[in-house]
Structure 1
Amino acid sequence: MTLFQLFQYISENPWPLVFYFLLLPFLAWIVGILANGSLDVKFWSYVYAVLVYAVCIPGIFAVTLNTYLFLFERQSIWQANIIMQFLPVISMALTLMLIKSKIPFSLIPGFGRISGFLTLIAALIGVMWFVDRIHLVAWTYVPFSAILIGFVLTLIAIRFAWSKLF
């Protein structure tokens, strides 16, 4: 099965995916109500970790896919599939906001790895887009160390922006 066939199948049967991405913010809200005032922070942090991974993995995939389609494939926004391209991102943002209102992300096991993974993906897509847009022949007089420093500064800026976002 190819990715195209999977997307075509989901387009023909969207309700399981819609239900999944509507269920995750609802579960985050319910867990927030149940965990309110509980002293067992460790247990609830693991419950939130499951929710974070369940929503962030498809959400990060959707962000990456959207970036690829819009920057490299030049897909029109009018041809975007709302259920597969936007619903995971909206669900991820809403779920993370609900979780952040109840527990700091620093208490959720593995959250730093997800944000690091997102930073790496964003930096790699940024570098790929930059290389796609420039003609390396025109930039040969720039020392490689300057390009490397620019890449590292981009990574730091993306990481800082991500930490301030949530």
Structure 2
Amino acid sequence: MTLREFFDVLTNDPTYVLVYLSIIPVMAFVAGLTGQDKGHEAPWKYLYSTLIYFICVPGIFSITVSVYQFLFERRSIWDADVFVQVLPIISMVVTLLIIRRNVNLDYIPGFDKLGGLVMIIASTLIIMWFIDRMRIIVFSYLRFEYVIFFFVGLLLVIRFGWKRAFGSA
């Protein structure tokens, strides 16, 4: 099954997508009502961490797929799939706003790791876009493994530079 086929299955029967993307903000809202002013304590912060990961991974993936389609495939924004590309982002934003109302996100374990993931994905897309725009065709005897090592090394340099510049990531 390809990714396109998977998206087609989700679009043809959006019940699972709608349930998944609506149950997590509802759970965050109920947790906020139940554990008011206790979001930074042990059981609640782990619940919030789980909810954040469950909603941010599809949201970040949706953003990445959308950016890829708009930059590289040059698809129109009007062709975006609502169930796969728009609703995960809306649900992610709503869930983060609900959780942030009850607890400071600095207390949530692993939340900083999502920022690092977003940074790596963004830097990868920027590098790929830059290479795509340069229209360089190289005929070389360089093995593909060396190209991968170069790419990973470039990502590590970007990450190191980000840590040095901003002290986080």
Question: TM-score normalised by the shorter chain: which range applies?
Answer: 0.7 to 0.9
Equivalent position of 2:34 in the other structure: 34
The CA RMSD measured in Å over matched residues stands at: 2.5
| Regions of 4+ moved over 2 Å | 37-40, 134-137
Equivalent position of 1:141 in the other structure: none
Q: Is 1:111 matched with 2:104?
A: no
Q: 1:90 to 1:9 in 2, by over 3 A?
A: same
Equivalent position of 2:81 in the other structure: 81
Deviation at 1:40, TM superposition (A): 7.2
Equivalent position of 2:70 in the other structure: 70
Identical columns (%): 36
Number of equivalent positions: 147
Instruction: Report the TM-score when normalising by structure 1.
Output: 0.79
For 1:1-166, list aligned pairs within 5 A: 1-38=1-38, 41-135=41-135, 152=158, 156=162
Instruction: Report the TM-score when normalising by structure 2.
Output: 0.78
Which amino acid in the other structure matches residue 93 of structure 2? Answer: A
Which amino acid in the other structure matches residue 53 of structure 1? Answer: Y
Check whether the contact 2:123–2:158 (CA below 8 A) recurs between aligned residues.
Answer: no
Which amino acid in the other structure matches residue 83 of structure 2? Answer: I
Q: Deviation string for 1:83-141 (max 9, x for gaps)? A: 1001001111111111111111121111111111111101111121122112459xxxx
Check whether the contact 2:60–2:89 (CA below 8 A) recurs between aligned residues.
Answer: yes
Q: 1:94 to 1:125 in 2, by over 3 A?
A: same
Gaps of 5+ in 2: 138-153
Which amino acid in the other structure matches residue 93 of structure 1? Answer: V
